Chain A
Amino acid sequence: MSKARTSLARTGAVHFALIAYTLIALFPVFLTIANSFKSRNAIFREPLAIPTPETFSLIGYQTVLKQGDFIGYFQNSVIVTVVSIALVLLFGAMAAFALSEYRFRGNTLMGLYLALGIMIPIRLGTVAILQGMVASNLVNTLTALILVYTAQGLPLAVFILSEFMRTVSDDLKNAGRIDGLSEYAIFFRLVLPLVRPAMATVAVFTMIPIWNDLWFPLILAPAEPTKTITLGSQIFIGQFVTNWNAVLSALSLAIFPVLVLYVIFSRQLIRGITAGAVK
C-alpha cells in the first residue's frame, strides 16, 4: 500500500518536472508565433496573451512578404538541401556498399580515412575552400554550397550505412549473383531497398545542419540571388530590428518549414537514434 503510494508520488514528480521543462522548451516558440499575429500595440501591452479578434493583425507578414525575397531564399535552401542529401545518400551508400561487401587491400584504411570527417569539422578548411571556389569560379553559386555540404555529410552517411549493410543477408546477394545479376543490380535492386530505414535516418541527420547553416552561405554565397533562407532571414531581421511585427513574422516563417519537416520525420528521427544508429 505505502509502496504503491510512493511510486504514485514519484510518477507525479516526474511528470511535474517534465512538464516544467517542456514549457521551457516550447515557450519561446509559442511566444514568437502568437505575437507575430498581433498588432504592434498588443505585442507590447500583453506579450503573453494569444491573439484575439481585436488584437489580430497580419501587418508583420505583409511587411516581410513585400520587403524580402523570401520565396527566392526558400527555393535556394530547398535546392541546396535536396540536392546535397540526394548526393550524400547515393554516393554514401555506394561507398558504404564497397566497404561492407568486398574484401580488398586497404579496406580498413579507407574506412578510417572516410571516418576522419565525422570528428573534424569541415569549417576548419574554410580558408582553402574559399580559394578553391574562387579559382574554379564557383563563388556565389549554389553548386559551391552543394559540394561543401555533400563532402560534409558523406563521412557520417558512409559510417551509418555500412553498419546497416553488414546486416543484409549474404544468401540473398549470392542468390542474386547466381541468377546472373551484376554487382550494380545487386546494389541498386537488392541492397538499397533493404536499407531504406537507415537512409531515412541519414537523410534527417544530414538535413538539419545543412538547412540551418549560416557559415558557408555567409562566406561562399552571400549574393542576393543565392542567399539561403537562414542567411536571408538573418540579414532581413538585422535590418528590421525595430519593426517588431516584421521580425516576429519573419521568425515564424523561418520556424514553419522546420516544424513541418519535424512532424513528417520525427518518428523516423527518434527511432533512428534509439535504434542505435549512433552507438
Chain B
Amino acid sequence: MDEIALKRPRRWHILVFLTPALVIYTAVMILPLIETLRQSFFNTVDGEYTFVGLGNFTVLFGDPRWASDFWNALRNNVVFFLIHMAVQNPIGIALAAMLSVPKLRFNAFYRTAIFLPTLLSFVIVGFIWKLILSPIWGVAPYLMDLVGLKWLFAPWLGRPDSALIAVSLISVWQYIGIPMMLIYAALLNIPDEVIEAAELDGITGWSQFWKIKLPLILPAIGIVSILTFVGNFNAFDLIYTVQGALAGPDGSTDILGTLLYRTFFGFQLQLGDRSMGATIATVMFLIILAGVSLYLFVIQRRMRRYQF
C-alpha cells in the first residue's frame, strides 16, 4: 500500500496548472453558452416564465412578425458569405501566389501594407469607407472620373439593391490579409524538390501553379474557408458602424448578428426580448456548428494530406 502511494503521489501541480484556465473558460464561456441554448426553449407566457419546447423556433421561422426579418437576415448572411468566398479568397490566393515568386523584391513591404487593414477596427474601416463612398465628399466619383467611369457611380451604401454588396466588399477589403498570409505560409512550405521535379518535367508558370501548387495548398484553403464561414455568420460590427443597428436601407444589410443585437437588446421603440434573442443565438450556433462539423468530418477527412 505504502509502496503504491510512494510511486504515485497525488500530482496536485497538474490541478494547479489547469484550474485557472478551466474555471474562467467554463464560467464565462461554456456555461453561458449552454444557458443561452437552454433559454431558447423558454418564454414568458401570460406573465409566467415557462418551458415552451420548440415554440420560440416555430415563431421565429413562421410567425409573420418574426419570420420575414429572420429569413431576410439569413438570406443576406448567405450572400455576405458567398461574396467573401467568391472575392476575398481568390484575390487572397492570387496575392499569395505573387508574393511567393522567388527572390521578389519589396516582398515584406507588400505583405505588411496589404495586411494593415486587417488590424484596423471596424469603426475606423466603416467610417473611412462611408466617407469615401459619400457623394458629398466626392472622392469616389472623382477617382472614377479619372478612368472615365464616372457614369457608373451611385451612392451604393444608400441603395437597397447595392448596399449589401458594398458592405461585403468593404469587409473583403479589410480581411483580405488573412487568406493572403495563411496561403502564403502554405506556399512557402512546399519543398523545393517538388518544384524542381516539376520543372524538370517541363511544368512551369501557370500550369505549375494549377497542377502542382494548388493541390498542395488545398488544406490551407479549407482552413481559410471555415474561418471565413465562422467569421461571417458571427459578423456584426462592420454593419453596425456603417449602417447602424437597423442595418438599412430598409433592412437590406441586416444579417444574423445585427438581428440578434436588435432582438436581444431592443432598439428605439422595440423592447428587448431575451428569449427570442437566445433563440436567434441558438440558430446561429447550429449554423456555425453545422459548418464546422462539415469541415472537420467531411472536407478535412477527404482532403489528401501530403507529408514531406
Interface residues of A (CB under 8 A from B): 10-11, 14-15, 17-19, 21-22, 24-26, 28-29, 31-32, 43-44, 47-48, 87, 90-92, 94-95, 97-99, 102, 104, 110, 114, 116-117, 119-129, 131-132, 147-148, 150-152, 154-155, 158, 182-184, 187, 208, 211-215, 219, 230, 233-234, 237, 244, 247-248, 251, 254-255, 258, 261-262, 266, 269-270, 273-274, 276, 278
Contacts and interface: CB of A to CB of B under 8 A. Distances in A.
A184 B106 CA distance: 45
Contact of A128 (B20, B32, B114, B142): B32
Contacts of B105: 15
Given A21-B114, A22-B110, A92-B21, 8 more contacts: A10-B101, A117-B29, A119-B226, A126-B264, A154-B24, A233-B123, A237-B123, A244-B131
Interface string B18-41: 101110110111111101100100
Contacts of A148: 28
Give the 8 A-B residue pairs with the shortest CB-CB distance, closest first.
A125-B32, A128-B35, A212-B121, A128-B32, A151-B28, A98-B17, A95-B21, A125-B33
B128 A98 contact: no
B142 A47 contact: yes
14 contacts: A11-B104, A28-B128, A95-B17, A121-B230, A122-B33, A123-B234, A123-B236, A127-B277, A150-B24, A154-B24, A184-B16, A230-B123, A270-B112, A276-B189
Contacts of A90: 20
B289 interface: yes
Given A29-B116, A214-B240, A47 B25 contact: no
Interface in B118-149: 118-125, 127-129, 131-132, 137-139, 142
B70 to A, nearest CB: 16
B127 A121 contact: no
B163 interface: no
Given A125-B29, A125-B33, A126-B281, A48 B128 contact: no
Interface residues of B, number: 89
Interface in B264-281: 264-265, 274, 277-278, 281
A44 B33 CA distance: 49
Contacts of B33: 120, 122, 124-125, 128
Nearest to A269: B115
Contacts of B16: 94, 184
B78 interface: no
B128 A32 contact: yes
B301 interface: no
A73 to B, nearest CB: 12
A25 B128 contact: no
A21 B88 CA distance: 13
Nearest to A219: B265
Given A120-B288, A251-B128, A215 B18 contact: no
A129 B281 contact: no
B21 to A, nearest CB: 4
B32 A129 contact: yes
B13 to A, nearest CB: 4
B69 to A, nearest CB: 18
Interface stretch (B58-66, B153-161, B177-185, B247-255): B177-185
A214 B24 contact: no
A92 B21 CA distance: 6
A25 B109 CA distance: 12
A48 to B, nearest CB: 7
B285 interface: yes
B113 interface: yes
Given A22-B113, A126-B264, A214-B241, A274 B277 contact: no
Interface in B215-246: 223, 226, 230, 234, 236-237, 240-241
Contact of A26 (B116, B123, B264): B116
A248 B139 CA distance: 14
A31 B132 contact: yes
Given A25-B116, A126-B36, A251 B127 contact: yes
B99 interface: yes
Question: In the complex, which of the residues A119, A124, A214, A237 has the most CB atoms of chain B within 10 Å of its own CB atom?
Answer: A124
